[in-house]
Every structure is written in C-alpha cells, then in structure tokens.
Copies of this chain bind each other. A is one copy, B any other.
Amino acid sequence: MKQSELFTKTRREAPSDEASKNAKLLIRGGFIHKEMSGVYSLLPLGLIVMEKIANVVREEMKNIGGQEVRLSAMQSRELWEKTDRWDDKKVDIWFKSDIKNGAQIGLGFTHEEPLTAIMREHVSSYKDLPKYIFQIQTKFRNEERAKSGILRGREFLMKDFYSFSRNEEEHKEFYEKAAKSYGRIFNRVGIGECTFRTFASGGVFSKFSDEFQTLSEVGEDVIFLDEKNKTAINSEVFTDETLSDLGKQKGDFVEKKSIEVGNIFSLGSRFSEPLGLKFKNENGAENVVIMGSYGIGIGRLMGTVAEILSDGLGLVWPKEISPFDLHLVSIGAEKSAKVKKQADELYEGLLENGVDVLYDDRDLRAGEKFADSDLLGIPTRVVISEKTMGDGKVEVKERIKKEALYMTEKELLETPHYRTC
C-alpha cells in the first residue's frame, strides 16, 4: 500500500490523558483511536495487527482440535441466574441494558454459560465427546479503572476456548496440550522469552490454575520467578504450602511484575452441573461433562507486544504480526525523477514477488520519513535515494538493528526473509 493513500497520519504527541506507553505509541502511529477510557477503535494498521494476532491464535486453536463459533454479546438473565452469576453483587463487571418492552440483558464478559447451554443440544452420548470449541469475539467488562491502554479494556477482543471432556483424565491430558499450544502462540507473537507459565489459584475444582505471565514493569500482577528452573508462582499463592506442594525452595524465586496474557482453568462441573450438560457413558449411566476454559486477550496481547518490544523511537513488530513486512522509503523523489522511478518500480516488483510492502511515497523530509518509519515499527526498512542509487544498491535496515546493509534490488527480491508467499 502507498503511504500517501493511507488515511491515518502519525502524530508527535499522544492525547494528554493517555498514561500508558502501549496506547501512546499505538495512537501516535495511527494504529488505534481512543473513544473513551478503556475503549479504543482500530484504525487500518491496528486492525491488520489485531487480525494477524487473532489468526496466529486461531491457527493454534484449530491445531489442537478447536472448532470456531461466534456467540452473541447479548446475554439473557435466566441463563446466568442458573449459575448464580447474574446478580451484580456476585459479578460486578456487567454492563446491563433493557430490551424495549422486555427483559433485562447483559453484555457477555465471558461465555461459559451460553456455550454450555448450546452444548446441551449437541451432546448426549460419550461418542459426542470430547469436543473443543473456541471463539474470537468482543467482550464487555465494566472495569472500575481502565488506564492501561489496551492492556485492560472495557470492550476488547478475546479468544475464549472451552473443552468438554468425559472425565478428569481426558480433561487433564487436553489441558496440558492446550498449555503447550499457548507456549507456541507467545513464541510466534514474539514474547515467548519473557512469558512464563505460572501457578495461580485454582478455584473449586483444582488446587492450581495456570496463568501465562509476561514480565513487564507496567504489569498489574506480581509473580515469583525461578528463572533457572522456568517456574513461576503468582504472589496470590506464593505460600509455604505451595512451595512444599511443588517441592521448591523460596530462595530460588525473585519477585517480578508481570502482565497476565493468558490463563487456563479446570472448571470441573461448575457450569455443566447447574446447566444440566450430561452424557450417557458406555454403560448407559448419566455423567456430568467435565469442562475447562482457556483465555487469551487478543487486544491485551497486542498491547503487551507494543509495551515490551518497543524502544525510544517507537514500535518494533515481530514479523509474524507486523502490519507490513517491509517499509519502502523513497528519499528526495520529489526532486529526482530517477529516484521516483526506481522507487515506483521496486514497489511494483515487490508486490509482484508477493512482498507485503508499505511504500512511503510522500513528499516529506528524510528525517520525518525515518521518524515515522521507526514509530510504525515495520521489521525491515528499504531506502532508495540519490546516494543509494549511485552505488547501484538499496539500503536495507532491520528495525531492531543499528547498522544498515546494502544490497542490489535483485538480492533484495531474492531474500526469502522479506517474502510472505
């Protein structure tokens, strides 16, 4: 795409009421727009990144057998009363409203109840299980405070995955499979090295749940990390009892702040029992379905990447989720017809070679173009100017490196690293 055609412009300053680094950078780059505290709209570059992250997650969820659905945001009172999660005294993050001449509705902050109700219509025998269902869908949560940019939104995109198993053993086996797939997801979006599977409080049906915590000073969570043994424990459960359960030594752990980028829970029969999700086993006896839930905030993941992979100059997208693979920048094309011609031709050549390229063809000073390029954070920048043309080469600079390389156009087009197809 030509940058001159993109309707968004970068800006020097983020809104003065925006405290978080992730939102500041994303707003300045024209990725998102702040509608109100905790509510952001996605502009073209932001939508591309969000969709790429969603697609990484989608792929991994399908790889472990997930079938994709999209449930409604609007939720009925009757259903949630059955699990005792309707009352604002029990769940204090509902947004509620009224249907004209009708019932009160809530906006889903999670979807265990409606999916369990749906499964009742499709599961009756042990032959129908296990089943794994997920969605990537907008959640609404009436948060008291929302000042962490897109790390904690009142309206946000989330992947929620639910497992329906015949017994604890089958459940546990899948649970570990899901945990591994979470590891692959965090690796692919570029935060794998800073993200740790973390023991957290488990609720009614298991001693522990698992969180995936990414180290960051802006995180709202506190974990204790034994980096050598890759063991992490949420401070909520960092007790002598936990350490003894796990056979760990207190002295091996260091306190860290972190962002919870994912969590997985054993739900047991917490929802299947009150909602009547049962199946007949091989002997014709009726059993309750054993459930698990597996969440990743897609918006929070994007915010985490923006937060921890950025530098003083701007964003630094990992290739897999960058809005474009390559940022082609012409310098001085308004004065030199030769530069313009070569840059235009290289743009066409890159498109023909299947390279996903943003072409900064705007009539701006070199300094402004470079500053914008660093702010947008596309992994590779290619510069064409009188200077590079004199050498018969183009300048290629990785966003994460200080030094540029020089290569011919042919070499550039033949480098598989810059190609998406």
A contact residues vs B (CB 8 Å cutoff): 6-9, 11, 30, 33, 35-37, 39-44, 47, 50, 67-76, 92, 95-103, 105, 107, 114, 118-119, 121-123, 128, 131, 133, 138, 140, 142-144, 154-155
Residues of chain B within 8 A of A99, CB atoms compared: 36, 142, 154
Q: Is the CB of A8 within 8 A of B122?
A: yes
Q: Is the CB of B138 within 8 A of A41?
A: no
B6, B72, B95: the one within 8 Å of A35 (CB): B72
B7, B118, B133: the one within 8 Å of A133 (CB): B7
Q: Is the CB of B35 within 8 A of A75?
A: yes
Q: Is the CB of A69 within 8 A of B41?
A: yes
Q: How far apart are A302's CB and chain B's nearest CB, in angstroms? A: 13
18 example contacts (A-B, Cβ-Cβ < 8 A) are as follows A7-B128, A9-B122, A30-B122, A35-B71, A36-B74, A36-B99, A36-B103, A37-B102, A39-B72, A39-B74, A40-B72, A41-B70, A41-B72, A41-B118, A43-B118, A73-B138, A100-B142, A138-B138
A356 to B107, CA, bound (A): 35
A72 to B35, CA, bound (A): 8
A382 to B8, CA, bound (A): 50
B36, B119, B123, B144: the one within 8 Å of A100 (CB): B144
A7-B67, A73-B138 known, 18 other contacts, Cβ within 8 Å: A7-B131, A9-B121, A33-B121, A35-B71, A36-B76, A36-B103, A39-B74, A42-B71, A43-B69, A47-B69, A50-B70, A73-B73, A74-B155, A95-B98, A97-B142, A99-B142, A99-B154, A138-B138
A107 to B69, CA, bound (A): 22
Scoring A71, A92, A100 by chain B CB atoms within 10 A of each residue's CB, the highest score goes to: A100
Q: Chain B: which residue is nearest A146 at the CB level?
A: B99
